[in-house]
Chains A and B, each alone.
Chain A
Amino acid sequence: MNSAMLRQWKIKGWACSAAFAGVALLLAASWAVAGGRSKEEGPAVRLSEAPASAQSLRNPFAGDEKAAAAGHKLFEQHCASCHGADGRGLSHAANLHAPAIQNAPPGVLFWALRNGRIRKGMPSWSQLPDQQLWQLVAYLKTLKKER
């Protein structure tokens, strides 16, 4: 076996090992991360960290039943898989009926949706247009009546 062939085999072996080690590491890490979340973490949104400018934002759809209905549809599409169809939270996701969320100003909820808390598993929903985020906030506020 000449040195060029040997080198080629070494590279091939290295690449295969790296790929398999990477996949194994990835699966283990994702398993650990997904399995490690607990209910004790509490709400993933950090409402208390919202900037003052968010407090004063007003929902352009406040009191609009059609907007709340659209928000309900968006909730089912994007949020229900973690927060549950009734919004009471599954596993690590926050219970959206909780007073901390229901008593929060609409602008703070809008900020929380837009920023998420990606270190705790709550994704940022900034890819949704602002109008749809406000429709979601309008829906979230209707949950107060169901408490």
Chain B
Amino acid sequence: MAKRRSYVGRLLLVSSLACLVWSAFPRSVKADKPYFITYDDEMEEPGNLEVSFNPVLGLPHTAPNFLSGWTEFEYGATGWWTTEFYLDVQTTRGQGGLFTGYRWENRFHPLADEHWINPVLYVEFENINGADKALAEIVNHDSVDELAELNDEARAQKEREIETKLILSSNYRGWNFSENFIGEKNLANKPWEFGYAVGVSRPLALEASPQACGFCRENLRAGAEIYGGLGTWNEFGFRGTAHYLGPLLNWDLPGGIGLRISPTFGLNRNSARFLIRFGVSYEIPRFDRIVRRWFR
């Protein structure tokens, strides 16, 4: 009973702190895309910080169910440079949970103007272990068999990798079309690994309504994304690779909070059967000014 009371107490304390932090920052409404894996050309606004939690519930057919995910801190360093830091965790049924590593990514918008196709360059350093199940990108011959490895064994494998992406994105009549080409290199002497992600999305209403509203169509965005591996430098192609497809829904609430969901289906026997991805994000506008005020 005492244990339960202490748990409730801690939960109340954390909730109160979260409310306090939430009320202390200025708020805006986001206009984010619903993608989980695909990147588009949208950069974080300069000085803004977005914090998001992205749990993934995995129901693979040949491995134990798991709950993994990442916490993401995205900062708009300038209008053309966005940087993000990720912390990955996972818990697998019957095997407990663990911290699986961190990732640091940078995205650069090389062109000044809007074009039919807008390129963005992406560079990421990953320091994760083999137990990572965030499935934040699928490359090489990543398959469901790797999800069956025991956490205690998989965590011993270190994966220090540089990941690059060419992001191409187009906006046309409210639709967004984004294509990502992924190249990943393990810093140990391994060949380049490749993957792809493609997404399309559109808001449910193109015009904004004059009234402030939470559950109105302009705040909802729907779409779909498909992603998978493309083998390695020596063995390029679809053979033996995993692929996933999922519909997407994003809801931007007033107050800077965004909610996303995507039930994702594995498309072949190399893929996990079913994943549900969730996302909760909160944007703090002009975080740079807030920090400067703290140190004044």
Contacts and interface: CB of A to CB of B under 8 A. Distances in A.
Contacts of B292: 34-35
Q: DSSP majority for the A interface?
A: helix
A18 B123 CA distance: 14
B1 interface: no
B43 interface: yes
29 contacts: A12-B158, A15-B160, A15-B187, A19-B102, A23-B104, A26-B106, A30-B77, A33-B46, A34-B47, A34-B77, A35-B288, A69-B210, A70-B208, A70-B210, A77-B28, A81-B28, A81-B45, A81-B285, A115-B113, A116-B114, A118-B109, A119-B79, A121-B78, A123-B43, A131-B174, A131-B206, A131-B208, A132-B206, A132-B207
Given A118-B112, A124-B114, A127-B176, A135 B125 contact: no
A24 B286 CA distance: 20
Contacts, number: 124
A18 B40 CA distance: 27
B114 A126 contact: yes
Contacts of B45: 81-82, 123
A126 B111 CA distance: 14
Interface string B226-242: 00000000000000000
A106 B91 CA distance: 54
Interface in A16-59: 18-19, 22-23, 26, 29-31, 33-35
Nearest to A35: B292
Given A73-B209, A129-B207, 18 more contacts: A26-B83, A29-B77, A30-B78, A30-B288, A73-B210, A74-B208, A81-B26, A115-B114, A116-B79, A118-B43, A118-B79, A119-B79, A122-B79, A123-B43, A126-B118, A126-B171, A130-B174, A135-B207
A123 B46 contact: yes
Contacts of A74: 208
Contacts of B141: none
**Most A Cβ at <10 Å: residue of B83, B208, B288:** B208
B83 A30 contact: yes
**Most B Cβ at <10 Å: residue of A35, A71, A82:** A82
A38 to B, nearest CB: 14
Nearest to A37: B46
B243 interface: no
- Please classify how large the interface on chain A is, using the bins under 10, 10 to 19, 20 to 34, 35 or more: 35 or more
A88 interface: no
Nearest to A22: B104
B93 interface: no
Contact of B28 (A11, A72, A78, A117): A78
Nearest to B127: A15
A68 to B, nearest CB: 8
A82 B286 contact: yes
Contact of B33 (A15, A121, A124, A127): A127
B196 interface: no
B31 interface: yes
A127 B171 contact: yes
Nearest to A33: B78
Contacts of B211: 73
A138 B166 CA distance: 36
**Most B Cβ at <10 Å: residue of A80, A115, A123:** A123
A12 B41 CA distance: 33
Contacts of A82: 45, 286
Interface string B192-215: 000000000001001111111000
A70 B79 contact: no
